[in-house]
Amino acid sequence: MYSVKIMFVVSLFIPAVRSSKDLWKLECLPTVGILAETTVIRCYFKDIKDIEIVAVYLTKVGEDKPLFSQEESKRSGDKRFKLLENSTMRPSLQISETMFSDEGEYHYHVTTDSGFKDIKLSISVTARYKNPVTSTWPEKVMDRGPVSLYCNATDGYPAGTINWFDRSGTNWTSNSVLTKDPKVISGVKSVALSSKLTLKSIALDLAPFKCIVFNSKYVQDGLKTLDITPVLDETNMVSSGSKTKSIVAGVIVIGSLTVGLLFALLFFRKRNHTHRRPSANPILSYEQGNDDDPEK
């Protein structure tokens, strides 16, 4: 019984004499970088305030030699990597011109004036999609006629998706077919997206349609508004032509009648004027004859 008590006292005493390096922690968040852009690997110290970094070493899992190291102000290895000097970001790392080859798991060793820590971190790399390209077939669309809308987006990774919306915001994606074409060229991965929205009878008042590209996290990467060029219905064209001909014919008839009436009026006016002049002569002669009467 006595020996049991001694062991219990010793076990209580052990945590009190732990080394200082066990009193603080190093943590790093999972990192997602974007191809050709700057990536920050966010790491921080826990349970300690005053601490100075002596050296850091970053080694890719499966490799023996560090990919990057920094001892005080001396750096070696991949020049795209560096230790952030900002005190609030220590011991975070930064990668410039991120590449797909940076993907993977790493061992991160940090030596400080309060001891050292080793942690495992991961990096994944994505690529943004370029602005989508859109088109229609046929190029000119008849109201209530058939049409296929196309939207293509390239250079994105991992595979995303394409959605369709009309001018009112109605989602037409369920009526579309999406094709994904993965490629790897010189170590650069990409998935080309191609979407086709087929409508057997389109109401042109639904236009314009919007093609929106989302990445693998369903975050918008691009948007393109698709303007549809309308063409007049042949029936309407014939009807419009007939109406135009009728209007022209009507104008010609009315014009002819107007001209005829004008000529008739001029003719009757001239005729009346001609008949009045001879009827005045006898009256004038009679009056003149009365003036010469000798009986006066």
State pLDDT tens for residues 54-111: 999 999 999 999 999 999 889 999 999 999 988 778 899 999 999 999 999 999 999 9
pLDDT at 295: 44
Going from N- to C-terminal start, the domains of the chain cover: 19-126, 133-231
Q: Is the pLDDT confidence value at 292 over 90?
A: no
pLDDT at 247: 59
pLDDT at 23: 84
Residue-wise pLDDT for 186-232, tens only, equals 999 999 999 999 999 999 999 999 999 999 999 999 999 998 999 87
pLDDT at 73: 82
> Of 127-131, 162-166, 246-250, which range is least confident?
246-250
Query: Pick the residue with more confidence: 258 or 259?
Result: 258
pLDDT at 17: 40
Q: Is the pLDDT confidence value at 284 over 70?
A: no
Q: Are 53 and 18 in contact (CB under 8 A)?
A: no
Assess whether the region 19-126 and the region 133-231 belong to the same CATH fold: yes
Q: Which CATH superfamily is domain 19-126 in?
A: Immunoglobulins (2.60.40.10)
Q: Choose among 151, 182, 38, 34: nearest CA to 100.
A: 34
CA distance 35 to 21: 37
Backbone angles phi, psi at 235, to 5 degrees: -60, -45
The residue to which tokens 């945590």 are assigned: 15
> Of 138-147, 217-226, 237-246, which range is least confident?
237-246
Q: What is the pTM of this model?
A: 0.68
Q: How many CB atoms lie within 10 A of CB 82?
A: 14
CATH ID of 133-231, from 3.40.980.10, 1.10.240.10, 3.40.50.720, 2.60.40.10: 2.60.40.10
Q: Is the pLDDT confidence value at 21 over 90?
A: no
Q: Count Cα neighbours of 141 within 13 Å in the Cβ-side half-sphere.
A: 25
Q: Are 129 and 221 in contact (CB under 8 A)?
A: yes
Question: Angle at Cα 34 formed by Cα 33 and Cα 37, nearest 5°?
Answer: 105
